[in-house]
Structure 1
Amino acid sequence: MVDSLRDQLLKSGIVKQLKDEKRQQQPAPRPHAPSAKGKPPHHKPPHQPKPARKEGEIDLAKAYAIRAHTEAEERKRAEQEAAEQARLKRERKAKVQKLLEGQILNKADGDQVRHFEYGGKIRRVYVDANQLADLNAGKLGIVQNAGRYLVVTQTVAEQVREIDSHLVALLVDPAAVGVDEEGIPDDLMW
């Protein structure tokens, strides 16, 4: 009959021998003297040496410190870039504002509506008949500034485009678009 592995180990004495070795490694239990509060004293586990690190491995705490330092540098660099972009945007806005002073041709009594696409939406500006013809011919342009659409000359619109092209809402290129007999560009025929 075949003995189980356990029976074979017990017969050979290896199992008993292993149990004896484990008992020798464990410290003998000490009697606990109660402390002043009635709790047993705190025992430190036996000091075990740190496992030897392989070459090229770094300590976990050191790795976390390096990671935290790198993330802090990246945050600081991103903040500096954002601040620089904000400063440049303020400078462009101030230049455009200065350029537009005294150059705005909007009329309060404009009776014609000129529709145009800007920012993915259809916008409108009120102009008179002469301004409408000049807008359609490319002699005038429309610039967006501080939430308003301002009618300006072609040269002012081109100067604004050089500073910040996103602010030019409408500047018709007469060579690129055909104009009908009424002065309306072909792209506005609906």
Structure 2
Amino acid sequence: MAESLRDQLLKSGIVKQVTEQKRPSPQQGGKPPYKGSKPQGGGNKPQGARPPHKGHVPGKSQDEIDLARAYAIRAQTEAGERKRAEQEAAELARIKRERKQKIQQLLSGNVLNKADADQVRHFEYGGKIRRMHVDAAQLAALNAGELGVVQQAGRYLLVSREVAEQVRDLDAQQLALLVEPGATGVGDDGVPDDLMW
């Protein structure tokens, strides 16, 4: 004979058998339940139900727990990515500091700027026209490619070609001007053709 739906659910394990507690009926001397009153025994929980086992959060479904785990994993991943980005930024800053120190050591004692320079040499650097004061001999050497200009801490420093090439090897952005020997474009008056206005 066919089993009842209740028996089938009990066998499959989906529903656990709950023993019902008999309520006293009004005829047995018990008080009748009032309308609107809460049922005794803790609401809609079946009587005799086991307390939730450890690890189970009351009132949360498995989907909510899985979602919470996903958020925790995502937070860990993002924290790891932030930490890697901070480490990379610190490493880049360290390399930049070391490079700056090497350039400063190269430039110390090798700067050829003169306080009494009377001629101006214009050059393009960083998308703008810059100028540097040099004397006549330095102007000729600069235009011939024997000297170069290095930008350091907002100042333009005149240095020998060897020092300028070493600075270019360390950080090409610091090299403001280095004319290639034999390059055309410098007029008879020592002013580059591209800067004449």
TM-score after normalising by structure 1: 0.70
* Partner of residue 71 from structure 1, selected from 73, 78, 81: 78
2:68 matches 1:61: yes
Aligned 1:47-58 pairs, distance under 5 A: 50=61
1:173 positional shift: 1.4
For the 8 Å contact 1:111–1:127, the answer to whether it is kept is yes
For the 8 Å contact 1:177–1:187, the answer to whether it is kept is no
Aligned 1:87-126 pairs, distance under 5 A: 87-126=94-133
2:162 matches 1:135: no
2:73 matches 1:31: no
**Which shifted more, 88-97 or 180-189?**
180-189
Aligned position for 1:148: 155
Q: What's the CA shift string for 1:120-165, capped at 9, x where partnerless?
A: 2221111101111111111111001111100001111001000100
For the 8 Å contact 1:114–1:127, the answer to whether it is kept is yes
Inter-CA distance 48–105: structure 2 relative to 1 (3 Å threshold): closer
The residue identity in structure 2 corresponding to 1:31 is S
Secondary structure, in 3 states, of the residue corresponding to 1:59?
A: helix
Aligned position for 1:167: 174
Q: Unmatched 5+ residue regions in structure 2? A: 1-33, 46-57
Tell me the number of residue pairs that the alignment of Structure 1 and Structure 2 aligns. 149
1:102 positional shift: 0.8
**Which whole-Å CA distance do the structure 2 matches of 1:91 and 1:178 have between them?**
36
**Which whole-Å CA distance do the structure 1 matches of 2:83 and 2:182 have between them?**
49
**Which whole-Å CA distance do the structure 1 matches of 2:185 and 2:140 have between them?**
13
Aligned position for 1:6: none
**Which whole-Å CA distance do the structure 2 matches of 1:127 and 1:44 have between them?**
94
Q: Unmatched 5+ residue regions in structure 1? A: 1-27, 33-42
**Which whole-Å CA distance do the structure 1 matches of 2:134 and 2:85 have between them?**
45
**Which whole-Å CA distance do the structure 2 matches of 1:100 and 1:49 have between them?**
68
1:29 positional shift: 5.7
Q: Kindly, what percent of the aligned residue pairs are identical?
A: 66
TM-score after normalising by structure 2: 0.67
